[in-house]
Structure 1
Amino acid sequence: MSVPFGVDLGNNNTVIGVARNRGIDILVNEVSNRQTPSIVGFGAKSRAIGESGKTQQNSNLKNTVEHLVRILGLPADSPDYEIEKKYFTSPLIEKDNEILSEVNFQGKKTTFTPIQLVAMYLNKIKNTAIKETKGKFTDICLAVPVWFTEKQRSAASDACKVAGLNPVRIVNDITAAAVGYGVFKTDLPEDEAKKVAIVDIGHSTYSVLIAAFKKGELKVLGSASDKHFGGRDFDYAITKHFAEEFKSKYKIDITQNAKAWSRVYTAAERLKKVLSANTTAPFNVESVMNDVDVSSSLTREELETLVQPLLDRAHTPVERALAMAGLKAEDVDTVEVVGGCTRVPALKATLSEVFGKPLSFTLNQDEAIARGAAFICAMHSPTLRVRPFKFEDVNPYSVSYYWDKDPAAEDDDHLEVFPVGGSFPSTKVITLYRSQDFNIEARYTDKNALPAGTQEFIGRWSIKGVVVNEGEDTIQTKIKLRNDPSGFHIVESAYTVEKKTIQEPIEDPEADEDAEPQYKTVEKLVKKNDLEINGQTLHLPDELLNSYLETEAALEVQDKLVADTEERKNALEEYIYELRGKLEDQYKEFASEQEKTKLSAMLEKAEEWLYDEGYDSTKAKYIAKYEELASIGNVIRGRYLAKEEEKKQAIREKEESKKASAIAEKMAAERASREAAGSTNEQAQKDEENTKDADGDVSMNQDELD
């Protein structure tokens, strides 16, 4: 049985939520952190993903890829691509309007698509969950930014599949946080809905959602976002400030040195966090560039001045979300805030001012999205029972369907089916009159409303099998269109209908029970036949998807082999030093001089080999060297253990003898006690009998006197 889990795929860190133990747990990774860096690194032999990728980042900048969410499904001709470039230390290249990451992997230049990179990372996340819970993980609910287009959502879904996961739902991250709020909030009303604003400002995105909550129900009223407003923008502003300062103060330009920039950028992030709790903070980086140590400081007021352009536009997403919901700020009952960047005091003050009310922090700022996503995944599980909770999201963009004009039909060639602000999941049925097979296409309705560079095309389906009844020009065709729970727009089914004359019983409640039933002749539309649907969507073609699957499986096997080889190498090195030390200490009395001489020579030879030609050897050779040493070492160790066992046995026998003696002494004492007690009782009985005899004499004498 698959364990349902939800993943908050963050731009900087990712959080894993799992439905178990009658609740939602947040899993820790291999170093016991509740967040895992969203990063993939490439080395000479294997990949370093998550924590290991973060550890080697500074020494491997050009081959380490972060900000995975930002390039997933992003076309190369998008203006956003130009903005993203400044945050990447690894080279990005363009091919067929797709962004690729170019890295030096296993000694040669290799390119990977964003789908492959995200799949690598999700596979690591899946394995982390497996190791932590010992469970089976197949179904996933993946939380993505609310501004993702259909292309980006499709790429996220495909990445899950390449990672060996079944994406039961691709959900907007802020909607997942809202679900978590609605499910675990115990005081929601049952009649009039409570209007809540959820504000999420994370590493790279600022999103606002306006929702109406009732007990067991959530309806999203409106949402908006600023996808270039987040923690990294604050970090970038601080780094840029110090870059200018260091130019004049130390005569160094960190903008020309990627490693220096990265180190200052990392220190700037720490500084931002310190200033969230303090009014001033020092700033120091050792040997940042050309062996120059830099030092400075920054106050909270200076930071607010640096990020003032960001703060000045903090009201925009709020106003847009309220406008979509048809509400004003004063109509909102509560403002719930999540996201790491909302810890910045100036940002909290700005948000409170925009809404005109104090902010609420009842949700966990870092884990709320993952918890909500895990609950949503559990809702889709056929084996888990969860408390009933209904929720609907809203479309950020309008979608229309277009179809071929039919010469025998007089109808339009398109229709807006799913309008902006409309709720989904949703199903609509349209009726067309067709004389032949036809094509239908889904497109965004308003190109000007889309992010720049977004293509209008969503999907195309060919509908085959249309057969017109004899004597008629067209046949009525029903097309079921679906905006599914993940936000994908599809053609779910298509079929033709025809009129048929049938006899339908007339219901007469006053008729006698024995009376003959009466019928009327009516014409009804009935399904004639299902039509064949062949689709082309924004998802990867099956052939390419399978190719990515094979590549990921091969890389995973390779990573495991490298890890196992390193483990065997470390085990051999540890055994050499351990055995050498014990040979002159614990094992000294248990090895002959000949054995010591031979084993010492073998250990020295193995050590020389390990640090020379064996430094980069194979797993099999490390195992062979280990077993060669162990063939003698284990014999000596066996003698030592046998002697130790004898000592332990002697100690156990001595302790058992002591226990037996103690038990015997105790039993003897108890017996003596009982005997003494028995003697005392016997004497007391005799005394009692003597007393009775004496009383009898007195009575007899008394009788005699009478």
Structure 2
Amino acid sequence: MTTVVGCDFGSLNTVIAVARNRGVDVITNEVSNRATPSLVGFGPKRRYIGEAAKTQEISNLKNTVGFLTRLAGRSIKDPDIAIEQDFIAAPLIDINGQVGVEVSYLGKKEQFTAVQLMAMYFTRIKDTAAAELRAPVSDIVVSVPAWYTDAQRRGMLDAAEIAGLKLLRLINDTTAVALGYGITKTELPGPEEKPRRVVFVDIGHSNYTCTVVELRKGELTVKATACDRHFGGRNFDKALVDHFAREFKEKYKIDINENPKARFRVLAACEKLKKVLSANASAPLNIESLMNDVDVRSFLKREELEELVRPLLDRATVPIEQALAEAKLTPADIDAVEMVGGSTRVPSLKSAIQEFFGKTLSFTCNQDEAAARGCAFSCAILSPAFRVRDFSVHDVVSYPIEFTWEKSPDIPDEDTSLTVFNKGNVMPSTKILTFYRKQPFDLEAKYAKPELLPSKMNPWIGRFSVKGVKADSKDDFMICKLKARLNLHGVLNVEQGYYVEEQEIEEPIPEAKEGDKKDPDAMDTDTNGDKPKTRKVKKQVRKGDLPLSAGTASMDQEAKLASIEKEQSMFMEDKLVADTEDKKNELESYIYELRDKLEDRYAEFVSDEEKAKIREKLETTEDWLYEDGEDALKAVYISKIEEIRVVAGPVVQRYFEKQEEERQERQRKIDEEAARKKAAEDAKKAAEEEAKKAAESKDEEMKDAPAGDADKA
């Protein structure tokens, strides 16, 4: 069975969707939730990922990491990382130029890069999907923020590969939403008609994206995208936490900023309070024994919340204005405004956006699951195993990309840079670059406008070396062609290099068609029997390939293999710990279960001597379990279960033999009753047959009797 999985890898939660049953379903995790916390935690025995990480988060803050997607492809010097440290309790550190964390794992300090952390989470996604679908999962499409750079996208691709997943496409989150929205619409305009213009506003936990899309039958074209990377639910929560921190310091003389666990509890309470205020005019906040055995109470009105987040609300329409300006459209040109993301439930945000457009907002997409559904559709489109309605997706380049190179000594006036992919160009896209060279050369790719990048990120994308270049026999330039491609993932590569030669070839001159104007002074001639006229033209003919080598932000193969091996090792360690815990729980349950059954189910099958012996064994094992057996090996728990089964075996055997006898007796009675009924039915049928035959015989006799006899009768 082929499975097609789409994943909305969010900063707070992750949603997994699958294409099946002629549609798309969102699947649930091990505790039946449709969204899984995007968290990875580390403990003395194992890792905790997803729901398990959320359960232990408050007691293990320093070893639990969230906001994984916001760490990808970053360095510790990135100003955004300082902002992320406000939301992540685990210490962020530098690991070979990448941001990572230092945590306590298996009783010692360990360091993991952002890519390794994402790979751990991808392993959980893979496991969750496989458990639900009861089939192995390999192909996946994942959504990412539209502002992701080449390095961040490569980090996501590396993480998926480490987890054993084949990432078919990285798709921008609002593009995924637009795909899920458009592919199900049957009333879209045709190719020659005016397109349906829709603005998708996605405000999530940490990110605000606005995308302007044109939709036609079977086609989606992104016209423009604008983002605010620091606008979302967590910014509303932080404003509330800071407000209550000031209030509690003044009112209760406690400073929650000095106690990470206390601040985290206030954060959790503020998140709930914010949701309540989205539907109610006011709400209370109560936390027992917050810190120093102090209970805190407060109350907040919706108007007060709006005043606290006024700086955010003042920015509410900025990404929309930017996206419309880049698309060269006005609010009047827009046919619909689709709202997605958890934070679009905030009434003041909805009001500000509705007022800007002057039209009713639309909420036809599922606010929390739309991106995951779009990813699943994209995966189904890319998978050969599924038949999906033809639907092409044209995204746009977020940042302009240029190539630079050293000036050739043979071409003194040569330009040394070229912007190859401009902002707003369609993606995926391929360009052919031509160079005239006599020796091997290098070129670098970088973002042309570093000021557009998130938080002063390094604009460098990659360095590409072209080998095998040399002058020809006449000491002329080799004409080198390089194929640069911005692929489905939004990742840039120089995929191919080759050289061409100019050759003079003859080609026929096209004959004038009837109706073409003739030169009035031209003399008519008879051309019958002459050969067709030809002309000599110079054309470039491909002659051979040029070897290429590349250096990019992707992990090198050796480091990747080491990470794969480490991830597999940690996965097996987690599995062993989980299996051991299951066996420990099984032993504990078996002790209590057998003790109850001795007084109930097995009472008539056990002698006093046997009962005493079994009870003694149970008590001994129970004492061991809660003392020396707290941290035993899986095999030891299995052996303890077997030891109890050996002692209790004769009793259990007698019980089951009795059960089997009773079952056979019941079956015998059922069989006898069935045979009796069958005999009765057979007898009844035989009697009916005899009666029928007698009636038929009498009728025959009446027919054969003389008329007089009939009258007498």
Aligned to 1:472: 475
Three-state SS of the structure 1 residue aligned to 2:386 is coil
Query: Residues of 2 paired with 1:513 and 1:273: CA distance?
Result: 88
Residue 640 in 1 paired to residue 655 in 2?
Answer: yes
Give the C-alpha shift of residue 385 in structure 1: 2.3
560, 563, 575: which one aligns with 1:545: 560
Q: Is this contact kept in 1: 2:90–2:101, CA < 8 A? A: yes
The more displaced of 494-503 and 157-166 is 494-503
Instruction: For 1:641 and 1:158, locate their aligned partners in 2 and report how far apart those are by CA, in whole Å.
Output: 56
Q: Distance in 2 between matches of 1:345 and 1:149?
A: 32
**Does the 8 Å CA contact 2:484/2:492 hold for their aligned counterparts?**
yes
> Are the structure 2 counterparts of residues 500 and 677 from structure 1 closer, same or farther at C-alpha, using a change threshold of 3 Å?
closer
The letter of the residue matching 1:440 is L
Distance 2:246 2:528 in 1: 97
User: Deviation at 1:687?
Assistant: 6.6
| CA root-mean-square deviation | 2.3
Separation in 2, partners of 1:117, 1:138: 19
Partner of residue 614, structure 1: 629
User: Is residue 602 from structure 1 mapped to residue 617 from structure 2 by the alignment?
Assistant: yes
Pairing partner for 2:210 from 208, 211, 214: 208
Match of residue 312 from structure 1: 314
Q: Is this contact kept in 2: 1:583–1:596, CA < 8 A?
A: yes
Number of the residue aligned with 1:420: 423
CA distance in 1, matches of 2:442, 2:391: 38
8 A Cα contact 1:408 1:474, kept in partner: no
What is the CA–CA distance in structure 2 between the aligned matches of 1:664 and 1:219, rounded to whole Å?
77
* Larger displacement relative to structure 2 (688-697 or 384-393): 688-697
Q: Equivalent residue for 1:429?
A: 432
Give the TM-score taking structure 1 as reference length. Answer: 0.94
The 3-state SS of whatever aligns with 1:534 is strand
Q: How does 1:97-176 map to 2 (within 5 A)?
A: 97-176=97-176
After TM superposition, give the deviation of residue 524 of structure 1 in Å: 2.2
Is the 1:77–1:453 contact (alpha carbons within 8 Å) kept by the matching residues of 2?
no
Q: What is the CA–CA distance in structure 2 between the aligned matches of 1:171 and 1:294, rounded to whole Å?
A: 45
Task: Please report how far the alpha carbon of residue 494 of structure 1 lies from its aligned counterpart in structure 2 after TM superposition.
Answer: 1.3
Deviation at 1:587, TM superposition (A): 2.1
What's the counterpart of residue 33 of structure 2?
Answer: 33
Say whether 1:565 aligns with 2:598: no
Question: Per-residue displacement from partner, 1:131-185 (whole Å, max 9, x unpaired)?
Answer: 0002222122111111112121111111111111122211111111111111112
520-529 or 411-420: which moved more?
A: 520-529
Change (3 A) 1:678 1:473: closer
User: Contact 1:77 / 1:97 at 8 angstroms: preserved in 2?
Assistant: no
Give, in whole Å, the separation in 1 of the partners of 2:483 and 2:674.
85
Q: Report the equivalent of 2:23.
A: 23
* Cα shift readout 1:285-310 (whole Å, capped 9, x = no counterpart): 22221222222222211211111111
Question: What is the correspondence of 1:258-657 to structure 2 with a 5 Å cutoff?
Answer: 258-409=260-411, 410-504=413-507, 521-657=536-672
> Deviation per CA, 1:505-527, whole angstroms, max 9, x where unpaired?
66769999998777654432111
Counterparts of 2:346 and 2:484 in 1: how far apart (Å)? Answer: 45
* CA–CA distance in structure 2, aligned partners of residues 205 and 482 of structure 1: 28
**Conserved 8 A contact 2:269-2:285:** yes
**Aligned equivalent of 2:520:** none
User: Which amino acid in 1 is paired with 2:295?
Assistant: D
Q: Deviations over 1:237-274 (max 9, x none)?
A: 12222222222322222221111111111111111111
Partners of 2:619 and 2:168 in 1: how far apart?
57
In the TM superposition, what whole-angstrom CA distance separates every residue of 1:69-101 from its partner, at most 9, and x where no partner exists? 221222222221221111112222234543221
Partner of 2:241: 239
CA distance in 1, matches of 2:381, 2:57: 38
CA contact 1:6–1:18 (8 Å) conserved in 2: yes
Give structure 2 stretches of 5+ with no counterpart. 514-525
Q: Deviations for 1:581-617, whole angstroms, at most 9, x for unmatched residues?
A: 2223322333344433333322222111111111100
Sort the Cα spacing of 1:2 and 1:165 in 2 relative to 1 into closer, same or farther, 3 A: farther
Give, in whole Å, the separation in 2 of the partners of 1:509 and 1:357: 58
Write the distance in 2 (CA, Å) between the matches of 1:508 and 1:184. Answer: 50
How big is the shift at 1:544?
1.3
C-alpha distance in 2 between matches for 1:697 and 1:122: 103
Taking only the aligned residue pairs, the percentage that are identical comes to 48
Structure 1 residues 672 and 475 mapped into 2: Cα distance closer, same or farther (>3 Å)?
Answer: closer
Provide the secondary structure at the position in 2 that maps to 1:347.
helix
1:694 is displaced (CA, Å) by 3.7
- Aligned-partner SS, 2:153: helix
SS in 1 for 2:286: strand
| Distance 1:140-1:696 versus aligned 2 partners, 3 A rule | closer
Amino acid at match of 1:362: T
1:336–1:361 Cα contact (<8 Å) kept:
yes
Shift of 1:38: 0.5
Q: Deviations over 1:630-678 (max 9, x none)?
A: 1232332122111111112112212322333333334444544555566
Question: Please, which runs of 5 or more residues in structure 1 have no aligned partner?
Answer: 699-706
Distance 1:200 1:11 in 2: 13
Q: Which moved more, 1:671-680 or 1:213-222?
A: 671-680
Alpha-carbon separation, structure 1, partners of 2:163 and 2:175: 24
Whole-angstrom CA distance in 1 between matches of 2:481 and 2:704: 116
Q: Report the number of matched residues.
A: 698
Residue in 2 that maps onto 1:704: none
Instruction: Return the offset for 1:426.
Output: 0.9
d(CA) in 2 for partners of 1:697, 1:473: 137
Report the CA distance shift for 1:688/1:509 in structure 2 as closer, same or farther (over 3 A). Answer: same
CA deviation map 1:183-223 (0-9, x unaligned): 11222111211111100000001110011111111111111
Q: More displaced, 431-440 or 384-393?
A: 384-393
2:75 aligns with 75
Which letter maps to 2:63? Answer: N
C-alpha offsets along residues 454-512 of structure 1, whole Å, 9 cap, x if unaligned? 11210001000113211133121111111111111211211111122345466769999
Which 10-residue stretch deviates more, 582-591 or 523-532?
582-591
- Corresponding residue of 2:223: 221
